[in-house]
Amino acid sequence: MSRKAARFEQAHHLSQLLVGIAEQAKADFTEIAASLGLPVHLARAVVALSEPAPMRDLAGHLACDRSYITSLADQLEERGLVRRVTGDDRRVKLLQLTDEGLAVRKAISDTVAERALVLRRLDDQQRATLTPLLEALAGVETAET
Amino acid sequence: MSRKAARFEQAHHLSQLLVGIAEQAKADFTEIAASLGLPVHLARAVVALSEPAPMRDLAGHLACDRSYITSLADQLEERGLVRRVTGDDRRVKLLQLTDEGLAVRKAISDTVAERALVLRRLDDQQRATLTPLLEALAGVETAET
DNA sequence: TATTGTTATACTCTATAACTATA
DNA sequence: TATAGTTATAGAGTATAACAATA
């Protein structure tokens, strides 16, 4: 019982750290997005669009419903960041960043590169130690490098 | 420029791992809560109530508005998990877990102790390595142990 | 006057279901 | 018939503002 309680405490501590860090990372990203005049969900979509992608794929990538992607696409289009391009299969529409969209994407990534928590608070060696642990936690199949 | 891009990629990779892991941890917790018939937000409140606490403090701890705590308290009370106790300062109401509330809290913590990702996927040594890195990331003032 | 909790209300994000146009 | 995207609508979760009781 005391064993179990100790395990819970440890798990709880680590989980809280993880969740807290993730929340801070998200808050940082939100702030970066806001500094560019974008709500987070639009910024995430822009980041996801490294290549033109069918709306359905984006839904998969962002883990949300197709109908929500429609709404995101509308908002991105209004802001001139994205255009809808009909695919070879004419049912499909690809979302493609405009020049302005590309510029915004670059601004986001540059700012993240400057400010990201994992870069600010850890040095190279710590990151090298951390990465495989996080990959294990995330359930990434370990390449036998 | 390529330097910056590489930094962004690394930050992005690590941040995505962190956010993904946190999301999985949250999903696990949601599932545990659901197995006890509780929505997550109520389960989080129960976990937070290790001691009877003023509603205002709980609002701080859960990072939400006082008015929302009122709504949580109502729901917890309906389920018989919590009671409102008037404090010394008679404006204040403490939320205190009932016996059933305590039992639910224990059930949650026992289940977390069994299932938590950080316990399932990492061994003792890995956790020992991970903890200080996460604490550094979280900005915890490092005790010079 | 300032603070605690409450109430009523409104907003944001996201999903569901029914629809259209293609395939 | 099945799939991609769209539309209209609804729900969950949470906040804001005005309020009552107490300090």
Q: What is the pLDDT of residues B77-113, one digit of tens each?
A: 999 999 999 999 999 999 999 999 999 999 998 888 8
Judge: A116–B15 Cβ closer than 8 Å, yes or no. Answer: yes
Q: What is the pTM of this model?
A: 0.82
What integer pLDDT is reported at residue B93 of this predicted model? 97
Looking at beta carbons, which residues of chain A come within 8 Å of B19? 22, 25-26
Residue B7, min C-alpha distance to chain A (Å): 5
Distance from C-alpha of A106 to C-alpha of A121, rounded to nearest angstrom: 23
Question: A142 pLDDT band (50/70/90 cuts)?
Answer: low
Q: Give how far Cα B37 sits from Cα of A64, B72, B103, B107, B112, Å.
A: 25, 15, 13, 12, 15
Residues 6+ apart with CB under 8 A from B56: B66, B69, B92
What integer pLDDT is reported at residue B101 of this predicted model? 97
Average pLDDT, chain A: 90
- What are B2-49's pLDDT values in tens digits? 787 888 788 888 888 888 888 888 888 888 998 998 999 999 999 999
- What are B53-68's pLDDT values in tens digits? 999 999 999 999 999 9
Positions 46-105 in A, CB within 7 angstroms of strand D: 54-56, 59, 66-67, 69-71, 73-74, 84, 87, 89, 91-94
Of A13-17, A73-77, B5-9, B129-133, the poorest mean pLDDT is in B5-9
Q: DSSP assignment, residue A140? A: P
What is the percent of chain B with per-residue pLDDT over 70, rounded to a whole number?
96
Distance of B21 CA from C22 C1′ (whole Å): 39
Name the nearest CA neighbour of A44 among A18, A78, A83, A75: A75
Question: A21 pLDDT band (50/70/90 cuts)?
Answer: confident
Please say if the pLDDT value at position B141 is more than 80.
Answer: no
Distance from C-alpha of A114 to C-alpha of B83, rounded to nearest angstrom: 48
Please say if the pLDDT value at position A145 is more than 60.
Answer: no
A96: which strand partners? A83
- Evaluate whether A133 touches B122 at the Cβ level (below 8 Å): yes
Looking at beta carbons, which residues of chain A come within 8 Å of B139? 24, 121
What integer pLDDT is reported at residue B113 of this predicted model? 82
> Quick one: closest CA in A to B28, which residue?
A15
Residue A23, min C-alpha distance to chain B (Å): 8
Ramachandran bin of A63, using left for φ above 0, alpha for ψ from -120 to 50, beta for the remaining angles: left
What integer pLDDT is reported at residue A1 of this predicted model? 59
State which residue has its Cα closest to the C1' atom of D22.
B91
B50 touches chain A (CB under 8 A): no
Question: B142 pLDDT band (50/70/90 cuts)?
Answer: low
- Evaluate whether B14 touches A112 at the Cβ level (below 8 Å): no
What integer pLDDT is reported at residue A28 of this predicted model? 86
